Structure 1
């Protein structure tokens, strides 16, 4: 099957042949031009239809991405709710052993940036946007330094083994 490039090259070759014949068309040249025009039309139609199919497929993919992102968001909300429930249960009743699982609580800390504009420049890194170096801020706060606009808070996460 010919590609559009092949059809264009053949068409150019036929035009050059006509030019060399000083504009005279032979019956063979007329037939070749007609066949070439028909092939061009068919190939162009196939391209347009294929492009339409790809566009439709891309639209379906976009819709599926949105559906999956929404499902992920909902799952994350349920997961957060369930994890908080486990943490509360462990805090209230202690380590829970069930089946082959032991459920406990792991303590961690997170640096929360309340207002990045108030955090001193030495804790910021400049990329395409201003970001606060949360690890450096956390270390500074833990070392006793007062960092306006930030604090360290304790968090709890369920540990399932």
Structure 2
């Protein structure tokens, strides 16, 4: 019986199930930051010769990379949790310092190593129902650009295809702010003045 046909003993993600040339190819791809040159692209392709053996090798290689991806994802999640906790603690101290500065009448504190001050900003604020309050009186739709009907038809795009797409309107705070500065009354929008605590 051919060696490939013999039942294999269970192996836990063993590198012995991956051909050495495939491991070398993976190392080259990683060294090249995932960019394939013509030689690597050719080596990556599977041929009919020894296809079953190569397919099994690829399968174990994919399983190995999936496991690495899961490990990285878990580490990212752990680091994101640490970052969130650090952000929360920093915000707690920033809020406490801000309240103290205002309570005792300080606009600025200087030392040889640290400067605490306020930076003024004028952000645009939108009400929570800003979009809904406007969209309830409107309809939003798409149409094929005038003059491009024939090209759209050649590409298989028609009004029925457009109906399959969801449009999600969003507000541009930049344009809203420009309108407010020009005196346009925009319901649910306003420019507010804020003093942001900064530490340098």
TM-score range, shorter chain: 0.5 to 0.7
TM score, norm. by length of structure 2: 0.51
Q: Is the 8 A contact 1:138 1:152 kept in 2?
A: yes
| Structure 1 unaligned blocks of 5 or more | 11-38, 122-127
> 2:144 is matched with which residue?
none
Q: Is the 8 A contact 2:46 2:54 kept in 1?
A: no
> 1:49 is matched with which residue?
60
- How many correspondences in the alignment? 127
Which aligned pairs between 1:51-90 and structure 2 lie closer than 5 A? 51-90=62-101
Give the structure, 1 or 2, with the largest relative contact order (CA under 8 Å, sep 6 or more): 2
Greater gyration radius: 1
> 1:108 is matched with which residue?
121
User: How far off its partner does 1:150 sit?
Assistant: 1.6
> 1:134 is matched with which residue?
173
Q: Distance in 2 between matches of 1:144 and 1:82?
A: 39
> 1:149 is matched with which residue?
188
TM score, norm. by length of structure 1: 0.61
Q: Distance in 1 between matches of 2:194 and 2:84?
A: 21
Cα displacement string for residues 53-81 of structure 1 (whole angstroms, at most 9, x for unaligned residues)? 11111111222222222223322222322
> For 1:103, what is the secondary structure of its paired residue?
strand
Q: Distance in 2 between matches of 1:81 and 1:140?
A: 35
User: How far off its partner does 1:40 sit?
Assistant: 4.7
> For 1:159, what is the secondary structure of its paired residue?
strand
